[in-house]
Amino acid sequence: MFIDVKPILSGLTDTIEFDYKLPPPESFNGLEFSEEITVRGKIKNMAGYMTLEAFASVPYKTACARCTKELSRVFEHEFSRTLATKLQNDENDEYLMITESRVDLDTPLLEEIVMNFDFVYYCKEDCKGLCPKCGHDLNEGDCGCANKKEIDPRLAILAKLLDK
């Protein structure tokens, strides 16, 4: 979304508020986005320079990294930048450029959201995961596999040494 900052540049107002829905990004890193991103915030004139403050709420679905249960969560992120009409160095990510009295918010906000998502998700912090032998969900109780003593077939030849 492009936000028109002409009212601030011309002195008509000191604050522009916005509230809109943003299409979700493509699925990545096992995350599925089924709903739009809610974005709200304001652009404020701060005696000679302008600041943008935005808050994004991103609903997503993924699977627990330990037990594979489906998770539905909401990622919330605050985003703030200073607005500029020109920069001496184009490589500065701390500023958003004002072009033709408008600011593009979607591209930098989506980049910020994607960069701040975690890589691993758990259904709960102490998730026990799945049994490596039978695949039983250990959060639902013990499967009994840990009580069975089995010898790794690759090391079975060494078991003969223990018999002597």
pLDDT of residue 88: 64
Answer yes or no: are the C-beta atoms of 63 and 121 closer than 8 Å.
yes
Q: Taking residues 101-107, what's their average pLDDT? A: 89
Of the pLDDT bands very low, low, confident and very high (cuts 50, 70, 90), residue 95 is confident
The predicted-structure confidence for 4-22, as pLDDT tens digits, reads as follows 888 888 889 999 999 999 9
The predicted-structure confidence for 133-144, as pLDDT tens digits, reads as follows 888 898 998 887
Q: Which pTM does this prediction carry? A: 0.74
Question: Rounded to the nearest 5 degrees, what angle is found at the Cα of 123, between the Cα atoms of 30 and 143?
Answer: 110
Average pLDDT of the chain? 86
In this predicted model, which residue has the larger pLDDT, 61 or 92?
61
Is 80 exceeded by the pLDDT of residue 87? Answer: no
- Using alpha carbons, select from 53, 111, 113, 49 the residue that is nearest to residue 85: 49
